Structure 1
């Protein structure tokens, strides 16, 4: 068994709380963008709402504050080994779960084929976040459109 880590100083506690509060704010922005999928009616083609959500999410993922929070959590991995996991839970995992919920609704209304919604959400988010990692100059609208197209080729009806 490992010894318990020493208690955090007031400065360390403030740093951690500040980064987590920023992650909560960013996560809430992500959730609001996924929420627009709820507004799509059962008769609609899912392409338009998925593309709109993709464009908003891609813009939010690449925003300076989101990038800064990820960097702050990673840069302080030694003194705060669980901070990066906490930020990931508050942002990436929370949006994946919300997106899976919306995709479940699209599956139940037969606008997407039957599949594992968590895996489908992971695939959709990977299609959005991968290109900017490898091609930082990629046009965000083109990335969002292409991600939606590829996603619907895999999961569409």
Structure 2
């Protein structure tokens, strides 16, 4: 995986942390990093800490479980940093890095659907599925 010169998006799920990933990417020579966290202020504060000449870092609030938020992240990253090379998901049980080398420079609606599928698979890898309670038990809670 080539990091030098790459534009990276890090999406943080509740219970996860993108701080280590962001620090690793900026230290490894990424061209730019966008950090998205579900909690307001977390990504923005981290971006302020890590932003530097040669590697701008942008922080936004967003939830990659929502297709509209993924579309907004893509638009924001492309507007401020350029085409995305790596899309990362940091969850409570680990992290997953998806290379977008096979996707075109600009994500149209069809390619955005492919990205959403990759992000969904990545989320499944970093979040342990919760057992479902029987309907009767759930109704009593």
TM-score clears 0.5 = no
Q: Does 1 or 2 have the higher relative contact order (CA < 8 Å, sep 6+)?
A: 1
TM-score, length of structure 2 as denominator length: 0.31
**If you compute each CA radius of gyration, which structure gives the higher value, 1 or 2?**
1
Q: Give the structure with the larger strand fraction.
A: 2
Q: Give the structure with the larger helix fraction.
A: 1
TM-score, length of structure 1 as denominator length: 0.29
